[in-house]
Amino acid sequence: MQLIVVISEKIGVLGAYHLIQQSPKLRKENRIKTIQASLQIEGNTLTVDQVSAVMEKKRVLGPKKDVTEVLNALKVYQQLNSFKAANQTDFLKAHSLLLHGLIEKPGRYRKKGVAIVKGDKLEHMAPGHTMVPGLMRDLFGYLKTTDEVALVKSCVFHYELEFIHPFIDGNGRMGRLWQSLILMAQYPVFEFIPVETMIAQHQKEYYRVLSACDKEGKSTKFIDFMLSMIDKTIDQLLEDYQPKKLQESDRLRIFLEQCSTPFSRKDYIAYFPALSTATASRDLRNAVDAGILLKTGDKMKTVYTKKGRMLRSN
């Protein structure tokens, strides 16, 4: 509970700073880190620089399988906002994209038994394949019906997915991807918070906690672990990227990226509560003069609609 409170407060700080929204470069860097780290955990050898090169459609020297994994992951993360966390069809579609060209029939649950063996030790025996459809139906039912906070719910889903192990391959990266998607539904900023990077740095502990939860038959330790990873990741973000004072063009761009039109001056001020009425009025007036917004109505009934090309952030 303490971690939930602390993380919630830090998410509020991120939101107040508009740290992620005001920096397209930061969003791109964190997307690259997320993809590289999640694949590295599964044995991919490409570095952050190589993943960046793949994203920019440059030639990269590396195993074909590793490059394919990155290309697939890029496609999935580009469509992330189109997926619904509680939709099992979207879940299977994401797996199909993520494992395209890497396994036979991606996007389908396994039709045989699987076990995780490390050395001579049986680490985990997954439930029989005939149980998988029912277990996954129950797991998605949990997402739709539970009243638990998103931070806990996302951790539980992640752990249960690893326990069920519904696919022949790609279970780990799907668990991490879907946890981010569950969190995004309540906190959109999680689209660009690279929690996977922190997990990769604590990979042994990640697997150790998963194993401990298997033996105990409950996910408490995994919830604690994942919440601590989220907390540490946000701390790192706040430490590495000091917030700058938002300029007028930044405020308008951020607002129009996150909010729908038409909107009122009241809506604009609600999004930037520290903004004075006079500054808000000036922002909107300048946007109208620049052809960015169209103003209709008068006085209290005035509304603004996005009209032209948005100003670019420096």
User: Which tens digit of pLDDT belongs to each residue from 273-308?
Assistant: 777 888 889 999 999 998 889 999 888 889 999 875
The string of pLDDT tens digits covering residues 12-67 is 877 766 655 556 777 889 899 999 999 999 999 999 999 999 999 999 999 999 99
Block means of pLDDT (10 residues each) for the chain, 314 residues, are 90 70 76 95 95 94 95 95 96 98 96 80 83 97 91 96 95 96 91 92 94 92 96 87 69 81 88 82 91 88 77 38
Residue 149, token pair as written in the block: 């906070």
In the chain, % of residues over pLDDT 90? 62
DSSP structural state of residue 82: G
- Does CATH place domain 248-306 in 1.10.10? yes
Buried b / exposed e along 50-76 (16+ C-beta atoms within 10 A): bbbbbbeeeebebeeebbbbbebbbeb
Radius of gyration, CA atoms only, the chain: 22
| Alpha carbon separation from 189 to 22, 99, 259 (Å, rounded) | 12, 26, 14
CA distance 191 to 155: 16
pLDDT at residue 22 in the model: 56
Q: Note if the bond before 194 is cis, omega within 30 degrees.
A: no
Give me the phi and psi of 82, to 5 degrees please.
-90, -10
Q: Could you tell me the pTM of the whole model?
A: 0.76
pLDDT at residue 310 in the model: 43
pLDDT at residue 180 in the model: 95
CA distance 65 to 281: 54
Domain spans of the chain, in order of start: 2-240, 248-306
**Which CATH code of 3.50.40.10, 1.50.10.10, 3.30.70.1150, 1.10.3290.10 fits the domain covering 2-240?**
1.10.3290.10
Beta strands 293-296 and 303-306: pairing type? Answer: antiparallel
